[in-house]
Chain A
Amino acid sequence: MMATMAIPQQKTAIETIDLSVAYNGKPALRGVSLAFPENAVTALIGPSGCGKSTLLRALNRMNDRIPNAEMTGRVLLKGRDIYDRRINLTRLRREVGMVFQKPNPFPMSIFENVALGPRLHYGLRGRALQEVVEDALRKAALWDEVKDELSKSGLALSGGQQQRLCIARMLAVQPQILLMDEPCSALDPISTQKIEELITELGKQYTVIVVTHNLQQAARISHYTGFLMYGEVVEWGETRQLFERPARAETEDYIHGRFG
Chain B
Amino acid sequence: MMDTVRSGMARAGGWESLAAQRDARRARTNALLMGAFGAVGLATVLLVLALVAIITYHGAPTLSWEFLTQPPREGMSAGGVGPMIFGSVLLMLGAFLMATPLGVFGGVCLAEYGERSRLMRLMHASVAALAGTPPIVYGLFGLAIFVLKFHFGVSLLAGWCTLTLFCVPSIVLITESALKTVPAALTDGGLALGLSRWQTLWRIALPYALPGILTGVILSLGRAVGEATPVLFTASVYYSTAETTLSWETLRQPVANLPYYLAEGYRQPGVVPERLIWGACLTLILLTLLLNAGAILVRYRMRRRYL
Contact = CB atoms under 8 A, between A and B. Distances in A.
A169 B307 CA distance: 18
B191 A120 contact: no
B204 A106 contact: yes
A97 interface: yes
A109 B306 contact: yes
Contacts of B194: 89-94, 117, 121, 173
B190 interface: yes
B277 to A, nearest CB: 47
Contacts of A104: 183, 185-186, 188-189
Given A62-B188, A100-B185, A100-B188, A107 B306 contact: yes
Given A67-B116, A107-B207, A155 B306 contact: yes
Contacts, number: 69
Nearest to A172: B193
Nearest to B302: A107
A215 interface: no
Interface in B118-152: none
A93 B188 contact: no
A33 interface: no
Contact of B192 (A93, A105, A153): A93
B191 A108 contact: no
A170 interface: yes
B189 A107 contact: no
A139 interface: no
Interface in B191-211: 191-196, 199, 203-204, 207-208
A90 B195 CA distance: 6
B307 A107 contact: yes
Interface residues of A, number: 31
Contacts of B191: 62, 65, 93
B192 A107 contact: no
B183 to A, nearest CB: 7
A120 B189 contact: no
Determine the main DSSP class of B at the interface with A: helix
A60 interface: yes
A102 B186 CA distance: 10
B305 A153 contact: yes
Contacts of B183: 104
Contacts of A120: 195, 199, 203
Contacts of A5: none
A107 B208 contact: yes
A98 interface: yes
Nearest to A99: B192
A51 B149 CA distance: 62
A60 B192 contact: yes
A153 B306 contact: yes
Contacts of B115: 67
B193 to A, nearest CB: 5
B216 to A, nearest CB: 19
Interface in B147-191: 183, 185-186, 188-191
Contacts of A106: 186, 189-190, 203-204
A219 to B, nearest CB: 27
B105 to A, nearest CB: 21
Nearest to A91: B194
Contacts of A98: 192
Contact of A62 (B192, B207, B305): B192
A62 B203 CA distance: 19
Contacts of A28: none
A153 B305 CA distance: 8
A141 interface: no
A100 B185 CA distance: 8
Contacts of A94: 194
Contacts of B203: 106, 116, 120
Interface in A150-176: 153-155, 166, 169-170, 173
Interface of B: 115-116, 183, 185-186, 188-196, 199, 203-204, 207-208, 305-307
Given A93-B192, A120-B195, 4 more contacts: A102-B185, A104-B183, A104-B186, A120-B203
20 contacts: A65-B188, A89-B194, A90-B194, A91-B194, A93-B192, A93-B193, A97-B193, A100-B189, A104-B185, A106-B186, A106-B203, A108-B306, A116-B193, A120-B195, A153-B306, A153-B307, A154-B306, A169-B189, A169-B193, A170-B193
Closest 3 A/B residue pairs (Cβ): A93-B194, A98-B192, A104-B185
